[in-house]
Structure 1
């Protein structure tokens, strides 16, 4: 989760994409995305819309942990500039993380604000 948070805060989609499986499904407040291409596009749109964004995960709880998968829930907070104006938001998140080819990657993310 820390690597994923750091990758998102880099605002570099090339650091985020390797942490997501190709067949992932993401549910955001503004829509649902299936597959790495659609998810990457949605994340890039967020990077473009929120300048200087800082994304933080807090109150992380591991609901289930096994050798090849894990599930967590958390609260998220963000700050940044939207159209040049300071903005912030928060919400709740759930992730399903799977171990593929020896690495932990995101299989599902559900964010709601």
Structure 2
């Protein structure tokens, strides 16, 4: 049972990263819990509109951004919730120059009506 749950949430994290890399918030929104809360280094977003505005601003600042999750560790997984920590990495173009960065991330997923949804993300820069 535990191996199956871990596989499910690993796929969910992969889907979330892939949705982020589409640069289309409607793809990200499909994976979000209605009560999702994001803690960024410079802002807390508690509504879908705030989360969308933050994502879209970031995609405008970092053109052609590619976001990835490295060294993922699942620190709690059960049939209702799963939490992972990882190092995030991004690369893209800022003002015509190649740029990259990294930081720490925590994602919390909950299973709602048989479907995993992201309910919390906390990102903090390491640079």
CA-CA distance at 1:9 after TM superposition: 0.7
Q: Which structure 1 segments of 5+ residues have no match?
A: none
| Cα deviations by residue, 1:88-110 (Å, 9 ceiling, x for unpaired) | 00000001100112211111100
Superposition CA RMSD, Å: 0.8
- 8 Å CA contact 1:52–1:81 kept in 2: the answer is yes
In structure 2, how many angstroms separate the alpha carbons of the residues matched to 1:98 and 1:37? 21
TM value normalised by structure 1: 0.96
Aligned to 2:52: 40
Aligned to 1:76: 88
> Within 5 A, what are the aligned runs for 1:98-109?
98-109=110-121
Higher strand share: 1
**Segments of 4+ moved more than 3 angstroms:** none
Aligned to 1:25: 37
Larger Rg: 2
Aligned to 1:93: 105
In structure 2, how many angstroms separate the alpha carbons of the residues matched to 1:11 and 1:101? 27
CA-CA distance at 1:48 after TM superposition: 1.2
